Amino acid sequence: MMKNFAAIFLLTSVSFGQLQLNGAGATFPYVIYSKWFDVYKKKTGIQFNYQSIGSGGGIKQVIEGTVDFGATDGPMSDEQLAEAKTKQGTDVLHIPTVMGAVVATYNLPEIGSDLKLTPDVLAGIFLGEITKWNDARMAAVNKDRKLPDKSIIVVHRSDGSGTTFIFVDYLTKVSETWKTKVGKGTSVNWPVGLGGKGNEGVAGLVKQTDGSVGYVELAYAVKNNLSYASIQNKVGNFVKPSLESVTAAAIGESKSLPADLRVSITNASGKDSYPISGFTWLLVYANQKDKTKGKALIDFLKWAVTDGEQFAAELLYAPLPKDVVKLCEKKIASVSLP
Amino acid sequence: MSIGIHRELLTPHVNVGDAVFKNLTRFFALLIVGMVVLMAFEMYGSAKLSIEKFGWQFLVRSVWDPVKEEYGALPFIYGTLVSSALALIIALPLSIGIAVFLAEIAPRWLERPLSFFIELLAGIPSIVYGLWGFFVMVPWIRTTVEPALSSTLGFIPLFRGAPYGIGMLAAGMILSVMVLPIVSSISRDVLRAVPRSQKEAALALGSTRWEATRIALSYSRSGIIGAIILGLGRALGETMAVTMVIGNRPTISASLFEPGYTMASVLANEFTEATSQMYLSALIEIALVLFLMTIIVNSFARLLVWSVTKHGDAARRT
């Protein structure tokens, strides 16, 4: 049913003669993508129609072949890639575009900003094992603070989202208990806590509730002046989330990125790396079916990962480091035209 | 039925325009039935994977784990029913009171603007209720309502626990505000439909205004039940406002202070990011359960409203 609607939609959009590329997917990179589409249209006249329906929806549309490109915050699984291959007869490539991070935001008026959290403590809180702010494990890394004897109220996202994926992907890497008990996905079975809808729902609950802790996108936390914690990274440093420390995470991992670039960079190595960081990807077919459209898409991708990156910082996305841009260009060059 | 026979007697010859018009409108009417059937069919088809895997167990299981692909709808069914019931418990006395005042007591100059305001409430988009609930009502519940309830009625398990603000109580309260205009405006109309002669007779026999109102209320009992069930239908299906204040946690707990989850909310929350076939299928099965529940509630309401109008007709004729 959905496919038919999308097909009708595509027909109407193509019939105007002007070249238009249709995409759908992640909401997180929507702001920078719209900027790119806008700037690129002024430059070349190519129209983009991007529907930010969520990463899951983007992957579905790529599998069904109803869009020219997709976008996602969590990489496609092997099964999904196989399904896309059977249905569309081509591989799907992951092209990283920008990076984001997830921060632990909290409401403790007596502490203020810059609380320190270790991976163990963070996992313990979200597992419901650490229930008081003055827990010994918490106090051990915040010796300079007087932690209050308050209950911790956990807040998480209730809607399925890429933000949740990055956060639980990190917890899965740092906590064996989390891995076996909860696991990772865009929605999970949370052991404790209240669910807020969207970044604004989580942030709103945290702001209202004394003693609460939740997780939101870095960009959202910065724009709304939330207080967020420094997290201890793989090498043991406490790193404050910032665009620089997120890019640092990609630099830390750039030597060991797999060929398909379909990788999570949470818990990255490198001394300045913020550990809860992740890429967001554009999804493109390896074998393009339409020459004009394929060519336009390739040109756009090349432009986006090079010139396009300059718009990232002002829109609070972390730009890709040079090494990763090179890998992207190589990947884009491998897209074949009919 | 009898009216149909009369109509044919009055028009012995068939007019082409009439025939076209008749068939066209009949087609439109049947289209609705067709859509409902198609919807149910489509949902059943999409939910098949989950129906086959979990069977009837789906309705009584409490686990909802998208990672391990284990699904059960019980906490959502429970949350939907409890939040809706709570909404009715709060809204009912208020709505009936409003309806009685508007239909029986209020002078005309006051009744008109009051009715207008109540119907205005029905037109407010649910996201606005949700935002208001989240930013205004929830903090108030957290700091005032819940502490007051737990200090006075804390011996009942319903009112125990930490005052989070959001939770089942908040969901019931926001729904009650949303149900109120429906129940009160329909009840008002039903009360107005009570024949004057009945009330005048009661008054003539020396009953007080309260006694006359009671007679009117008992006369319109099934109509008011119909109104309540239509309100319930609204509460069952409400999505946005509930999602924002219920806490979205698929558990069943005795306390109203604890978070819960409803069927409509889980659909709104998880549908867009549900990627695996089984996950989607389980969500669609929830939609199917909600769909069936709403159909049952609505047909029940129709029957009741229909029976009361029949009574009304009978009364008017005598």
**pLDDT for the residue numbered B160:** 84
pLDDT band at B32 (very low <50, low <70, confident <90, very high): very high
Q: Which pair of tokens denotes residue A55?
A: 């990463």
Q: For chain B, what is the mean pLDDT?
A: 88
CB A70 within 8 A of CB A293: no
**pLDDT for the residue numbered B188:** 92
Q: If you measure CA to CA, which chain B residue comes closest to A55?
A: B273
Q: Is residue A237 pLDDT above 90, yes or no?
A: yes
- Per DSSP, B102 falls in state I
Give the residue from A53, A63, A116, A58 showing the smallest Cα distance to A86.
A63
Average pLDDT over residues B121-137: 92
Cα B93 to Cα B161: distance, rounded to the nearest angstrom:
27
pLDDT > 70 fraction of chain B, expressed in percent and rounded: 92
**pLDDT for the residue numbered A81:** 93
**pLDDT for the residue numbered B317:** 45
**pLDDT for the residue numbered A1:** 45
Identity of the residue numbered A275: P
Cα B29 to Cα B242: distance, rounded to the nearest angstrom:
33
**Which H or E run contains A64?**
helix A55-64
Q: Is residue A4 pLDDT above 70, yes or no?
A: no
Chain A contact for B64 (CB, 8 A cutoff): yes
Cα B153 to Cα B133: distance, rounded to the nearest angstrom:
24
Q: Is residue B311 pLDDT above 90, yes or no?
A: no
Mutate to test the interface with A, among B63, B272, B276 (most CBs of A within 10 A): B272
Residue A56 Cα to chain centre, angstroms: 13
- Per DSSP, B38 falls in state H
Q: For tokens 């807020």, what's the residue?
A: A196
Question: How close A53 gets to chain B, by Cα (Å)?
Answer: 7
**Would you list which residues of chain A are within 8 Å, Cβ to Cβ, of chain B?**
1, 53-57, 59-60, 77, 80, 151, 153, 158-161, 182-190, 193-197, 201, 204-205, 208-209
**pLDDT for the residue numbered A10:** 47
Residues 6+ positions from B302 with CB-CB distance below 8 Å? B226
Average pLDDT over residues B249-258: 91
Interval A246-288: pLDDT, tens: 999 999 888 888 888 988 899 998 899 999 999 999 999 999 9
Q: State the alpha helices, DSSP H only, in chain A.
A: 2-14, 30-44, 55-64, 78-88, 119-127, 136-141, 162-174, 176-181, 198-208, 218-223, 243-254, 291-305, 322-333
- CB burial of A56-82 (b: ≥16 within 10 Å; e: otherwise) equals bbbbbbbbbbbbbbbbbbbbbeeebbe
Cα A282 to Cα A302: distance, rounded to the nearest angstrom:
12
**pLDDT for the residue numbered A185:** 87
Q: Which pair of tokens denotes residue A283?
A: 């999804």
Question: How close B49 gets to chain A, by Cα (Å)?
Answer: 17
Give the residue from A72, A142, A29, A102 showing the smallest Cα distance to A275.
A102
Identify the weakest region by mean pLDDT among A64-68, A131-135, B201-205.
B201-205
pLDDT > 70 fraction of chain A, expressed in percent and rounded: 95
Q: If you measure CA to CA, which chain A residue comes closest to B167?
A: A194
Q: Spell out which residues of chain A touch residue B243, defining contact as CB-CB under 8 Å.
A: 158, 197
Q: For tokens 């806008």, what's the residue?
A: A38
| B208: three-class secondary structure by DSSP | coil
**pLDDT for the residue numbered B16:** 87
DSSP β-ladder status, A92-106 and A277-285: antiparallel
DSSP β-ladder status, A277-285 and A230-232: unpaired
Residue in B247, B268, B275 closest to A56 by CB: B275
Interval A93-138: pLDDT, tens: 999 999 999 999 999 988 887 899 999 999 999 999 999 999 999 9
Interval B75-92: pLDDT, tens: 999 999 999 999 999 999
pLDDT band at B226 (very low <50, low <70, confident <90, very high): confident
Cα B150 to Cα B162: distance, rounded to the nearest angstrom:
9
pTM score, whole prediction: 0.85
Q: Is residue A328 pLDDT above 80, yes or no?
A: yes
Average pLDDT over residues A33-39: 94
Q: Which residue ranges form the domains of chain B, and what is each CATH number?
A: 54-316 (1.10.3720.10)
Residues 6+ positions from B213 with CB-CB distance below 8 Å? B100, B104
Give the residue from B188, B224, B219, B186 showing the smallest Cα distance to B202.
B219
Q: Spell out which residues of chain B touch residue A80, defining contact as CB-CB under 8 Å.
A: 275
Q: Is residue A2 pLDDT above 80, yes or no?
A: no
Average pLDDT over residues A22-29: 90
Identity of the residue numbered A78: D
Q: Is residue B316 pLDDT above 80, yes or no?
A: no
Give the residue from A256, A216, A215, A217 showing the smallest Cα distance to A234.
A256
pLDDT band at B303 (very low <50, low <70, confident <90, very high): confident
Give the residue from A163, A275, A281, A276 showing the smallest Cα distance to A217.
A163
Q: Is residue B31 pLDDT above 60, yes or no?
A: yes
Question: How close A314 gets to chain B, by Cα (Å)?
Answer: 28
CB B242 within 8 A of CB B265: yes
Q: If you measure CA to CA, which chain B residue comes closest to A155?
A: B247
Instruction: Give the DSSP letter string of B108-169.
Output: HHHHHHHHHHHHHHHHS-HHHHHHHIIIIIHHHIIIIIHHHHHHHHTTSGGG-S---S-SHH
Cα A260 to Cα A291: distance, rounded to the nearest angstrom:
24
Q: Is residue B318 pLDDT above 50, yes or no?
A: no
